[in-house]
Amino acid sequence: MVKIYLDNSATTKIDKKVFKAMVPYLKEDFGNPSSLHYFGDTAYKATIKARNQVADFLKCNILEVFFTSSATVSNNLAIFGVVRSAQKKGIKKPHIITTNIEHPAILEPIRYLEKNNEIEATYLAVNKEGIIKVEDVEKNLKENTVLVSVMLANNEIGTIQPIAEIATVLGRRPERSEGSRYPLFHTDAVQGANYLNCNVEELGVDLLTLSGHKIYGPKGIGILYIKKGVDIEPIIFGGHQEKGLWPGTENTALVAGIGQAMEGIRNQESGIKSGERVRKLRDKLMNGILQNIPKTFLNGSVENRLPNNANISFEGVEGESILMALNEKGVAVSTGSACASGSLSASYVLMALGIGIERAHSSIRFTLGKYNTEKEIDYVLKIMPEIIKKLRKISPLK
């Protein structure tokens, strides 16, 4: 049976080296890292090794690396933590700037705080390619702006945002030059970590989120980078772990796994080698579809997008029908974000591009990874024209 996985933005296969690094802490080295005996010390040393691996990848201090249970948790901790700290400092109604195409793990916490009248929020619009204007960030800054959160790369359309340029604008703020840390700058780098520069100093961010299962590591583990001197409040309580910001006994196996996953990316020059290979396969797939199947459209930027992402609309066909037809042929794709796959509404990310509801409903997200082969791409290109031709005959969108 054919089994081709082209949904790597949803999750990735665990790398063999990552799995190998995890196994000891699922078996004989099972101790609690907080325990003082041999078993605990062995587990503790594993967490220190992983923290160093992450710090080496981000080019930061080991004390600036915090482990959580997912990227969603890291995003929530960044948002709630900054807001609670600002309120504690006397800012009664903090202001947050974000974009209208962020992951739900950013948008929903902000909307929750906004709904409860705890904050003000500004949602910056993107252009037709899915990119915000740096000047829009500057225009919307207020005296009470405590946080700007802009994702490094979008999970649906692969658009890359000008993070370093935004950081330059924020660095010119009088409040920061006078000693205040506000506004803080956060980026959700979950989708970009495999392929983009995540050097936190070069990006100019105060907070950065990563996920294990998007980089050939395990699920259930996330990272929040917190720049030294940045003050955030915890959102759960009950332990000393992670300096009290995310208390609870560390899952040593998962921590070791994400550390090894980071090592894997760093060893391939921040994903450059992998990215070049994946880009060639992606371009073959993308160009093959756009050139050989009529009435198909690429969603998002041609140039400023992740090398593994191709989000394509097929006029006159529902995306879900294409997904099901491909699945029957052994090919796994997505109609958008896996986090929103239970929703029947059009993708808010695609709608933000101004492409219209019918085109948004007819989109498929192909996301490649390091395990994909040219033979697999050839197979997909072979079956796609006939699938679309058949579906267009029966589709209610025609």
For position 174, what pLDDT does the model report? 61
Q: In the numeric block, which tokens belong to residue 120?
A: 């003000």
Q: In the numeric block, which tokens belong to residue 42?
A: 């062995």
For position 271, what pLDDT does the model report? 47
- 339 counts as catalytic: yes
Residue 372, number of CB atoms within 10 A of its CB: 22
Looking at residues 89-111, what average pLDDT do you find? 96
Instruction: Give every strand in the sheet of 120-124, ordered side by side.
Output: 65-68, 222-226, 207-211, 184-188, 145-149, 95-99, 120-124
Question: What sign for the dihedral angle of Cα 169, 174, 180, 183?
Answer: negative
pLDDT tier at 396 (50, 70, 90 boundaries)? Answer: low
- The class level of CATH for 4-12+271-394 reads alpha beta
What does the alpha-carbon distance between residue 13 and residue 16 come to, in Å, rounded to a whole number? Answer: 9
Beta bridge partners of 188: 209
Name the percent of the chain lying above pLDDT 70: 92
Residue carrying the six token digits 């946080």: 147
Q: In the numeric block, which tokens belong to residue 125?
A: 């619009």
Residue 128, number of CB atoms within 10 A of its CB: 12
Query: In the chain, what's the furthest Cα-to-Cα distance?
Result: 69
Are 256 and 14 in contact by the 8 Å Cβ rule? The answer is: no
Q: Which of 78-92, 220-234, 270-284 has the lowest mean pLDDT?
A: 270-284
- The class level of CATH for 16-267 reads alpha beta
List all residues 6 or more positions away from 188 whose beta carbon is below 8 Å from its beta carbon: 71, 75, 102, 103, 105, 106, 149, 151, 152, 209
Looking at residues 106-125, what average pLDDT do you find? 97
Note the pTM of the prediction, 2 decimals. Answer: 0.94
pLDDT tier at 363 (50, 70, 90 boundaries)? Answer: very high
The mean predicted confidence, pLDDT, of the chain is 92
What does the alpha-carbon distance between residue 228 and residue 60 come to, in Å, rounded to a whole number? Answer: 9
Q: Exactly one of 91, 235, 339, 381 is catalytic; which is it?
A: 339
For position 372, what pLDDT does the model report? 97
**Helix (H, G, I), strand (E, B), or coil: what is residue 75?**
helix
For position 245, what pLDDT does the model report? 80
**Domain spans in the chain, listed from the N-terminal domain onward:** 4-12+271-394, 16-267
Would you tell me the crossing angle of helices 71-88 and 104-115 to the nearest 10 degrees? Answer: 30
Name the percent of the chain lying above pLDDT 90: 82
What does the alpha-carbon distance between residue 99 and residue 97 come to, in Å, rounded to a whole number? Answer: 7
What does the alpha-carbon distance between residue 94 and residue 108 come to, in Å, rounded to a whole number? Answer: 16
Q: pLDDT of 266-294, one tens digit each? A: 776 444 556 899 999 999 999 999 999 99
Are 83 and 77 in contact by the 8 Å Cβ rule? The answer is: no
Is the preceding omega at residue 183 within 30 degrees of 0, hence cis? yes
List all residues 6 or more positions away from 274 whose beta carbon is below 8 Å from its beta carbon: 194, 195, 268, 370
CA dihedral 111, 171, 90, 149 (to 10 degrees): 10
CA dihedral 124, 129, 131, 134 (to 10 degrees): -90
For position 398, what pLDDT does the model report? 54
For position 270, what pLDDT does the model report? 45
What does the alpha-carbon distance between residue 50 and residue 91 come to, in Å, rounded to a whole number? Answer: 36
Q: Which of 13-17, 35-39, 134-138 has the lowest mean pLDDT?
A: 35-39
Kindly give the pairing relationship between strand 296-298 and strand 309-314. antiparallel
Are 368 and 6 in contact by the 8 Å Cβ rule? The answer is: yes
| CA-based radius of gyration for the chain | 22
